[in-house]
A and B are shown apart, each in its own frame.
Chain A
């Protein structure tokens, strides 16, 4: 403290000290010190956040690839009979192997479902692989374990699965993206879930965006300040914080049960009788729309409030009506904010699981949804279901599905940023 003061006095005459020696204490040193301490606190907080995020991503990536002990009913090497490996053979070479190893009935069924002429080499290979070789993933290891403990893994496989092969598997691959759900983790894919999620999101956008924006315009530009409107405003703010499972209960009661004829499509005569119980994409989409509606409204209000009042005044001052003012000035200038808020809310809906469980997402569907009255599953539901399975390999494909979900969310959020930059103006 003392030398700080002396240092200061080297350059400047001590005016404060002279004027009121008792009223001011020289605290420059402690002020700087306090500032440095807080700066370190902020840095530590940031580092903790980064570590948490990195751990999450590392953990997920760690599970998406690694060694797997796979046992075959008939190993591919014996099937190929020493000629070459199965995945390099042509369809013409593969077909006899298939024909020789499945029953005549099964072969007829395969030929009826997938005529041989329409099959690519990859399809033929998959047919032989899954119909004849029938691989089973017995145990899987994470990427880090695969890299650092290879010998140990080798020993375990030799001891426990003498018949099995040790293969390095990348669980997040093309066939994982384009395959439907299956109860075999080696064949299971995320296609049905992605399609279900996309269907739901389209419905969410179609419902929550227009309704939310219209409501926020009304509340900001038209509603007068009275008790009734204040109550509405408070309720909207509170609804934004209601746990999503509650919305699931609401969706179950209203859309699945009460509005069943509409949500199952029987009213329009296009519903599938097997799903005609209201547990459809439409019900899920409407439930999630309700869930994010308060958030969309609040974001819309914020964006509208951020439009400078001088623009409204200028517009009114020229004899514009309220609607002309809103349409020509308020909305165009609030649009970037409204879009950003809506997309962020939509990405929240994209990752929601709990309400969909209540509304009745199917956890096991092998066919893609055809229309909004179809049964559905979604990516988070699929992840939830896979992580609940005891087998090792399901944990790996759950991790792969998480990566897919994160990428889809990233794309949505990037769209939000792009829209904001594209339309943002200054005034």
Chain B
């Protein structure tokens, strides 16, 4: 467990050391949050489709997870560190898990920050804070982190399976269905937010099953596959 957290800490350090990626992620999160909130606050409350916290946590969480996940796996190969790392006493599964947690933590933190900013702006502009329901709060605190981890896990697994190669096509093929599931489950047929306990349950189940499945499959990853793609 200590070694897993060593991987997590090191990955977060590396993510934070990449200042341009961090600045872009934070700026986009806050900018999108602010813009959405301003637009939302100007609209007549009745047709407002969804609570800003729901929309923003979803968008920001997955986008940031996608950005960071693309870096943390592929970077090991680009910087020539993967071969030495594979000689250390850690399994590929632990390496995968450490990287997934390291991506999910900042992505979830940023999604939460964007949601809070958006909620505060809406409250300031309208004077009537739009209070989130219990399921919505749990959505931001549990479902979105789970989905950020699932996205990072699937992307990381695909990259490791391909020998630490980044494949954008696979990236989009993973991102789009997850985003659609996360965004779509909360809406009713009339296009309005109808996020309740059942939506929450469905999303938690989807993320848990996917994450558990890919976690199980990660035991079959091969060091040879990775090494053979090295120059």
Q: Are these two chains actual partners, yes or no? A: no
Where the two chains meet, the residues of B that have a C-beta atom closer than 8 Å to any C-beta of A are none
Where the two chains meet, the residues of A that have a C-beta atom closer than 8 Å to any C-beta of B are none
